Amino acid sequence: MCNSSGRPIQWTLNRMPGSDDARLSHMSLAEMEKAGKFHKSFPQYEATPLTPLSGLAEYLGLKRLFVKDESYRFGLNAFKVLGGSYAIARHIAKELGRDISEISYDVLTSKELREEFGQATFFTATDGNHGRGVAWAANKLGQKCVVRMPKGTTKTRLENIARENAAVTIENLNYDDCVRMAAKEAEETTRGIMVQDTAWEGYEEIPTWIMQGYGTLALEADKQLQEYQSRPTHIFIQAGVGSLAGSVIGYFANRFKENPPVMAVVEAGAADCLYRSALQADGSRVSVTGDMLTIMAGLACGEANTVSWDILRNHADAFISCPDWVSANGTRIYGAPIGEDKRVISGESGSVTLGLVHALMTNPDYQDLKDALKLNENSEVLLVSSEGDTDPDRYREITWEGLCGSDKEPFADIK
């Protein structure tokens, strides 16, 4: 285990004033069902497993613990393809004046639709998984794709995207600046379309579609939990810009309107824009800047998605900022199961929530947070392992060599 005596976990309960909550309806069960139906039309579709970790739950003192294992998603080792593929399909449907219900995988990949729609270029910025998903979808549909990646990106992540016939580069920029670069290129390109999993003023439709695409994951998990006759009391969900968190929390806030689970947003300490925004407690967004150095590459984002933020400020119960040792511990715990539990291969961005739950249940330093969340022997906890070993070298560094990240990792710069 990584030594937890370094930089501590930081947290705040949600004390922000609510908004008119207009964005919650975008994550309605009906919208998620539309996305689920679309994804089921893919020949590669199979619901990813919901894995019960009964031995670990008993060890930690929880009633039940489940993990939605996204390492199986479409053979791409991460959940992100759900959003990129759905957003591209929604864009094509809108341009052709059709409803998304008319646009199945077979229709999208047909010669007739390609002739009708023609050729577009889909731009995006990514730390790895989102860009790979967009590139995969564009490639399957015979479209062009351009991907910009931030400094510090590993060669493995770039090569995974290049294999999908995308034009991909690593820039000497952080993630948020890569987003701005790709958006500018899309604007200057004939039939250039930005497909980004973050939103800002004036760019919210496609990010909303991406979040709805992620809803397939939440919809599957809900139905799988029902098969186990379980209703989650707690959901811990990781966040970069917050798109996945907004989707999952939005879904379950709609699903259990009268008595929602306790839902907590978990970030990398070097890129904790949501935590810092919640700490400010007035409902406004705080951005962080700088290199955002963390082993949690998929969470190294400094500016919150405006659509997601509106959902989170109304429905998240807590915002938690985690140093790298939390994630590294989570990866190792998943990889060394207890008793009859199945092994889960979870990358750094996928494992931080389990590392957090382990710390809360075993480390007395975090008793106050455990009590505030009412986490105890009656709790039924849902986690999402959002990626597998998408960077095999880093995964081995954690599991073989004991990499914990840096106890001296910098705090995020605020702007």
What 3-state class would DSSP assign to 255? helix
Q: What is the pTM of this model?
A: 0.95
pLDDT, greater one: 415 or 157: 157
Q: Tell me what pLDDT residue 1 has.
A: 80
Share of the chain above pLDDT 70, in %: 97
Mean pLDDT over all residues of the chain? 95
Report the pLDDT averaged over residues 24-50.
Answer: 97
Domain boundaries along the sequence of the chain? 10-78+206-414, 81-202
Q: How far apart are CA 210 and CA 259, in angstroms?
A: 27
Which one from 34, 68, 69, 127 is the annotated catalytic residue?
A: 127
Amino acid present at 66: F
Name the band, by pLDDT with cuts 50, 70 and 90, for residue 302.
very high
Query: Measured in Å, how far apart are the chain's first and last C-alpha atoms?
Result: 34
pLDDT at position 407 is 46
Instruction: Write down the pLDDT at residue 406.
Output: 59
Whether 35 shows a pLDDT value over 70: the answer reads yes
Q: What pLDDT was estimated at residue 240?
A: 95
For residue 409, is pLDDT > 70?
no
pLDDT at 14 over 90: yes
The one catalytic residue in 80, 140, 144, 370 is 80
- The three-point CA angle 160-163-166 to 5° equals 100
Look at residue 204 and give its three-state secondary structure.
Answer: coil
CATH fold match for the domains 10-78+206-414 and 81-202: yes
Residue 256's pLDDT is 98
- Is 80 annotated as catalytic? yes
Average pLDDT over residues 57-62: 98
Lowest mean pLDDT among 80-89, 114-123, 403-412: 403-412
Report the C-alpha gap between 334 and 205 in whole angstroms.
Answer: 36
Question: How far is it, in rounded angstroms, from Cα 235 to Cα 264?
Answer: 6
Q: Hey, what CATH topology would domain 81-202 get?
A: Rossmann fold (3.40.50)
Mean pLDDT of 340-363: 98
- Does residue 408 have a pLDDT over 70? no
**How confident is the model at residue 413, as a pLDDT?**
58
Q: Does domain 10-78+206-414 have CATH number 3.40.50.1100?
A: yes
Q: What share of the chain is helix, strand, coil (3-state, %, to 5)?
A: 50, 15, 35
User: How do residues 270-294 score in pLDDT, each as one tens digit?
Assistant: 999 999 999 999 999 999 999 899 9
Which whole-number Å values give the CA distances from 361 to 59, 146, 351, in the listed order? Answer: 9, 44, 16
| pLDDT for the residue 33 | 97
At 219-249, the pLDDT tens digits run: 999 999 999 999 999 999 999 999 999 999 9
Determine contact, residues 23/380, Cβ cutoff 8 Å: no
Specify the pLDDT at position 215: 98
Q: Given its phi and psi angles, is residue 191 left (phi above 0), alpha (psi -120 to 50 degrees) or beta?
A: left
DSSP code of residue 365: G
Q: What is the pLDDT of residues 377-406, one digit of tens each?
A: 999 999 999 999 999 999 999 999 999 985
Dist CA 67 CA 81 (whole Å)? 19
- Please state at what angle helix 392-399 crosses helix 348-362, rounded to 10 degrees: 20
Per residue in 104-132, pLDDT tens?
999 999 999 999 999 999 999 998 889 99
Q: How many residues comprise the chain? A: 415
Element (H, E) at 326: helix 324-335
**3-state secondary structure (DSSP) of residue 301:** coil
